[in-house]
Amino acid sequence: MKKIIGFTLVLFIVGSFAFISTNKSPQAQIGLNVGQKAPELAFSNPSGKTITLSSLKGNMVLIDYWASWCGPCRRENPAVVAAYKKYQSAKFKSAKGFKIYSVSLDQDKNRWMNAIKQDKLEWTEHVSDLKGWKSAAAAQYKVNSIPASWLIDENGIIVAKNLRGAALDQAIDKYVKSFK
């Protein structure tokens, strides 16, 4: 009887350990709120190459919705450019770097490309499906006004939303270890 109880106890302990080691903590739910995993985006750049949001994993990423025809967006672009310049060479606590995934709600490719050039939006992750407000990217993120933004960490988790000007720097500063 003691052998059966002992054997059962050993099986219970081994089984419990196996259960605990295979059941990792649940992944963050996909959504648009702080603490949730940002939904995947996959859209074409001006050259027609598809750029996915997940290709930037490992970096702090600002998802920035804007358009060439949007006055408030164009007025906000200098702050976004300043953040890009400030953080592109920063050393982050756990992220590899800082990227901007810029989603345009333009319909005219030439106006979009000219605005990128005029506003000196130097990063390479510019995307659009050129469908304006009917953009799949706008629908996916429930964007109904621009500019709109989400800051995500190196794991794709949303850490802040709709940051403007100094608030953008303040949010990113929390993740910076040092400046090079």
Tokens of residue 17, six digits: 């350990």
CATH number of 28-179: 3.40.30.10
The pLDDT value recorded for residue 1 is 55
Separation of alpha carbons 35 and 114, rounded Å: 35
CA distances from 171 to 24, 68, 84, 150, 168 (A): 29, 25, 13, 11, 5
Residue 165: CB partners within 8 Å, gap ≥ 6?
76, 79
Taking residue 130's Cβ as centre, other Cβ atoms within 10 Å add up to 16
- The secondary element (H helix, E strand) that includes residue 116 is helix 109-118
pLDDT per position as a tens digit, 34-78: 999 999 999 999 999 999 999 999 999 999 999 999 999 999 999
Residue 179 has pLDDT above 80, yes or no: yes
Global confidence as pTM: 0.84
pLDDT per position as a tens digit, 120-142: 999 999 999 999 999 999 999 99
Domain range summary for the chain, segments of one domain joined by +: 28-179
Type of residue found at 61: V
